[in-house]
Structure 1
Amino acid sequence: MQTDIDPRSLIGRKAFDRNGSKLGTVDEVYLDDATGVPEWAAIRTGLFSRDAFVPLEPSELVEGTLHVPYERSLIKDAPDFGVGRHLSPEQELQLYHHYGISLTDDTPPPSDHDFGHIAGD
């Protein structure tokens, strides 16, 4: 993800999958507590649907829209943790596993109650 983008500016932007299919609108952005880097986007997938968590690395901001390198079906099947609260380290590990992302080392994320806080909080 482009690191010079204010994560709050992502909120409200349209999001598209790897094939260019519209996913929905970015509802919230979650930051890594240790680095402050935007890590997850919660994308509202429809009027009466839920928010789906999508990793922001290696997503791209293209002409004002967020493009994520995952298929729509994978995103819609992501674990549902609700939005507006912190992601626990266990929830984040479930998301990493769902998207096939391996951590850089074998150490789980720190047990910090504020891990994965929402941008702007």
Structure 2
Amino acid sequence: MQTDIDPRSLIGRKALDRNGAKIGTVDEVYLDDATGVPEWAAVRTGLFSRDAFVPLEPSDLVDNTLRVPFDKALIKDAPDFGVGRHLSPEQELQLYRHYGLHTSAAPAPPDQDFGTLANETP
């Protein structure tokens, strides 16, 4: 997705699936904790429905509409974590798996070799 878009400007926009079918309206945008880059959008899927999380990375903003490259059925079946709260790393991983997206490898464990003591000779 375009990185120069203000995430607040996505709120209230229509969201369409890969076939152009209306999914709903963007309610909230979630930013990556480390980078601050918009990562997920919560899309209200209907008047009495819930919000479904959709990934913003493979999505595009076309003619003021969020185009999500997944089928509407897959989006509606996404895990439901509620909105207005922080997504945990485990919840994000569930979402990535649901959409068949690759995640970056887990960080390497910290190096346990803290060096030699001052009075030791190398």
Q: Fold match, TM over 0.5?
A: yes
How far does residue 44 in structure 1 lie from its aligned partner after superposition? 0.1
Larger radius of gyration: 2
Identity of matched residues, %: 81
> 5+ unaligned residues in a row in structure 1: which ranges?
109-121
Aligned Cα RMSD in Å? 1.2
What is the aligned partner in structure 2 of residue 112 from structure 1? Answer: none
Counterpart CA distance in 2 for 1:55 and 1:107 is: 22
How far does residue 58 in structure 1 lie from its aligned partner after superposition? 1.2
1:38-93 residue CA offsets vs partner (Å, 9 max, x unmatched): 00000000000000000001110001000010000000000000000000111111
What is the aligned partner in structure 2 of residue 38 from structure 1? Answer: 38
> 5+ unaligned residues in a row in structure 2: which ranges?
109-122
Between the two proteins, the alignment pairs up a number of residues equal to 108
Give the letter aligned to residue 95 of structure 1: L
Q: Which has the higher contact order (CA 8 A, sep 6+)?
A: 1
Counterpart CA distance in 2 for 1:57 and 1:20 is: 18
What is the aligned partner in structure 2 of residue 97 from structure 1? Answer: 97
Residues 1-121 of structure 1 correspond to what in structure 2 (within 5 A)? Answer: 1-107=1-107
Q: After the TM superposition, which segments of 4 or more aligned residues of structure 1 sit over 6 Å from their partners?
A: none
Q: TM-score, normalised by structure 2?
A: 0.86
Give the letter aligned to residue 51 of structure 1: D
Q: TM-score, normalised by structure 1?
A: 0.86
